[in-house]
Chain A
Amino acid sequence: MKRSTAGILVFILLILSACGSRNTQNNAQAGSNSKQAYIENKGSDTLVNLALAWAEKYQNAHPEVQISVTGGGSGTGFTALINGSIDVANASREIKPEEIEEANKNGFEPIEFIVANDAIAVIVNPENPISELTLDQVSRIYKGELTNWKELGGEDRPIVRLSRETNSGTHVYFLETVVRLGSKEDKAIFSADTLLLPSSEGIISEVSDNPNAIGYDGLGYVTKDVKMIALAKTAGEPFVLPSAATVISNQYPVSRHLFMYTRGQPEGVEKEYIAWILSAEAQAIVTELGFVPVEPVEKQ
């Protein structure tokens, strides 16, 4: 009986290793046979809809290329890129030094491409009379120092703070840029009673339903059911609403780049795909989905 158990284990291991090597096989096929190419693309949930739209459009024009897109979070994408299970990682944050180190250990240098810009909108319920806040006020709300809308000149209602889960690139970005106001020494974190919701949609639905709530989300996810807050960097500066124009002109204070990373300099199909993503045709999709396009370098 012992021997049979060992047999089963070996069998399971064989299946697992077969799963692991599936990708390298695909890549090998892509290399040897240029007729059917396969790009595996994974990472940031912020980017996933955009990446899907790009992949769809590109595949329509190039039926010989197959692109699979999945989400999971920026970190998930980097892990997969380092493990070699994907070809292109999507990220809403820059790669960390330790991730570059891991990649070097696995024998490649991750190459960065800025593929779009995103602004994070701070949102409240449409019933909330507040429509302008400074970054410092938002920071104090999320640190738990302000607990009632009354303190900001609003109604006498408790403030319910909503955030994405800690595994989201948006969460980390918001923590660094807004809660800590961009200061590297500041070790402030979210108040413990901040609700951590697993999805962007969850935040929109709670904010649109709950007049006490404040949340943040990528500009691409904001719907008409919630109200965006105009933000000012400091008390004296003008309050700016997030939009494509204010992000490109660098007036809106909470905006960031969105990235794609490849395993070393991209070649062949991958290179063509990334070049296409940076083209005007692909960047038009960026605007359609509520993100902000990358300004073409040639213009400047």
Chain B
Amino acid sequence: MNKKFQENLISNAIRIAGSSSIIFILLIFLFLLREGLPALTEVAPKDLFNTRWYPIEGLFGLLPLLSGSLIVTVFSILIALPLGVGTAIYIGEIAPRRVNEILKPTIEILAGIPSVVLGFIGILVLSPFMRETFNLPTGLTAFTGAFLLALISIPTIVSIAEDALYAVPKTYRDAAYALGASQWQVIWGVVVPAARTGILTAVMLGVGRSLGETMAVMMVTGNAPTMFSGLNSFISPIRTMTATIASEMGEVASGSTHYHVLFFIGILLFIFSLIINVSSANSIKKRTAKSRAQVVS
């Protein structure tokens, strides 16, 4: 009797722990909806899709912020993808174990550097360097932010891409080598294509990491709410959604239109990262289903 009670207590406690994250996400989402949706009635949708963000004068155009987040995220992935996947291939396929013993912990250290520290280095070193090297008006640009974001998302991409490469059965490689393929041909023609869904997942999670990062971008992108205007935007100051929330939420009067719009930006970010996570989870599911099918046939 007593034992059964204990058993029940423990299993219930574990059940609560297990479902708590779902409950928290639901509560967070409900909270975001409650605080953010009034924005849609207080500001005409037409004004939300305006090109000027200047909240203290009631200008709530979200387009420059969306454009800013998009520019920084896309460029950070353009930098991080080749570096991250290249590192994963080197670790998984080429490097001798001795090198891996140094390389893998080093990448984990990179993941552990607080983004505010990277932002600090960005302000003091990277931004002046960019300005002088490329003769820009200012070094606080989208590119500087994208470069820091690449550093931040590389560890995520490396570790997941490496898992994906590791999951490719050894028999694939053996078969390719038996046909006389070189190491490069094996990697590029067999292993990477076989792991492509996993690599895609890695990139998607990297995108999620870049999109949500706040501190580093706030410090080095200049926070000017400019619109996308071709390649030039790459080397201009921009303002991201996350930086906007972070720098304005502290000041805003709770319940005001500005407050609701900031929460509305939060909803957009939440939805974006949800889409990214769901689509990467789907590709994982597909991959496992496919590899099972292959084993059976």
Given known A166-B56, A187-B57, contact A196–B250 (CB-CB < 8 A): no
B254–A79 CB distance below 8 A: yes
Cα distance A45–B267 in the bound complex, in angstroms: 30
Cα distance A159–B137 in the bound complex, in angstroms: 7
Q: Which residues of B contact A193 (CB under 8 A)?
A: 224, 226, 236-237
B225–A165 CB distance below 8 A: no
Question: Is A28 an interface residue, CB under 8 A from the partner?
Answer: no
A195 in complex: contacting residue of B131, B138, B248, CB < 8 Å:
B138
Cα distance A158–B254 in the bound complex, in angstroms: 39
Cα distance A93–B15 in the bound complex, in angstroms: 53
B251–A190 CB distance below 8 A: no
Name the residue on B nearest A172 (C-beta).
B56
Q: Which residues of B contact A210 (CB under 8 A)?
A: 128, 131, 138-139
Name the residue on B nearest A102 (C-beta).
B253
Cα distance A189–B224 in the bound complex, in angstroms: 13
Best-surrounded residue of A1, A197, A212, A213 (most CB of chain B within 10 A): A197
Question: Is B12 an interface residue, CB under 8 A from the partner?
Answer: yes
Question: Is A75 an interface residue, CB under 8 A from the partner?
Answer: yes
Question: Is A112 an interface residue, CB under 8 A from the partner?
Answer: no
A166–B55 CB distance below 8 A: yes
Q: Which residues of B contact A4 (CB under 8 A)?
A: 12, 16
Question: Is B140 an interface residue, CB under 8 A from the partner?
Answer: yes
Question: Is B218 an interface residue, CB under 8 A from the partner?
Answer: yes
B224–A167 CB distance below 8 A: no
Interface of chain B residues 120 through 146 with chain A (CB within 8 A): 123-124, 128, 131, 137-140
Cα distance A157–B131 in the bound complex, in angstroms: 13
A190–B54 CB distance below 8 A: yes
Q: Which residues of B contact A205 (CB under 8 A)?
A: 123-124
B123 in complex: contacting residue of A1, A5, A192, A202, CB < 8 Å:
A202
Best-surrounded residue of B64, B222, B239 (most CB of chain A within 10 A): B222
B243 CB to closest chain A CB (Å) equals 9
B248–A165 CB distance below 8 A: yes
Cα distance A8–B250 in the bound complex, in angstroms: 28
Interface of chain A residues 192 through 233 with chain B (CB within 8 A): 192-198, 202, 205-206, 209-210, 212-213
Question: Is A122 an interface residue, CB under 8 A from the partner?
Answer: no
Cα distance A206–B220 in the bound complex, in angstroms: 11
Name the residue on A nearest B12 (C-beta).
A1
Cα distance A8–B13 in the bound complex, in angstroms: 12
B16–A1 CB distance below 8 A: yes
Question: Is B219 an interface residue, CB under 8 A from the partner?
Answer: yes
Name the residue on B nearest A74 (C-beta).
B251
Name the residue on A nearest B251 (C-beta).
A167
A70 CB to closest chain B CB (Å) equals 11
Question: Is A73 an interface residue, CB under 8 A from the partner?
Answer: yes
Question: Is A41 an interface residue, CB under 8 A from the partner?
Answer: no
Question: Is A84 an interface residue, CB under 8 A from the partner?
Answer: no
Interface of chain B residues 138 through 172 with chain A (CB within 8 A): 138-140
Question: Is B201 an interface residue, CB under 8 A from the partner?
Answer: no
Question: Is B247 an interface residue, CB under 8 A from the partner?
Answer: yes
Given known A73-B251, A195-B237, A196-B224, contact A189–B139 (CB-CB < 8 A): no
A160 in complex: contacting residue of B52, B123, B138, B254, CB < 8 Å:
B138
Name the residue on B nearest A205 (C-beta).
B123
Q: Which residues of A contact B23 (CB under 8 A)?
A: 5
Question: Is B223 an interface residue, CB under 8 A from the partner?
Answer: yes
A239 CB to closest chain B CB (Å) equals 26
Q: Which residues of A contact B251 (CB under 8 A)?
A: 72-73, 75-76, 167
Cα distance A187–B54 in the bound complex, in angstroms: 12
Name the residue on A nearest B139 (C-beta).
A210
A79–B253 CB distance below 8 A: yes
B247–A194 CB distance below 8 A: no
A1 CB to closest chain B CB (Å) equals 6
Given known A158-B137, A160-B137, A172-B56, contact A195–B222 (CB-CB < 8 A): yes
Residues of A within 8 A of B (CB): 1, 4-5, 8, 72-73, 75-76, 79, 157-160, 165-167, 172, 187, 189-190, 192-198, 202, 205-206, 209-210, 212-213
* A-B contacts, 14 listed (Cβ < 8 Å): A8-B16, A72-B251, A76-B251, A79-B254, A166-B54, A187-B57, A190-B54, A192-B224, A196-B222, A196-B239, A198-B247, A206-B138, A206-B140, A209-B128
Extra inter-chain contacts (4) besides given A165-B223, A193-B237, A209-B128, CB under 8 Å: A5-B16, A166-B248, A195-B223, A212-B138
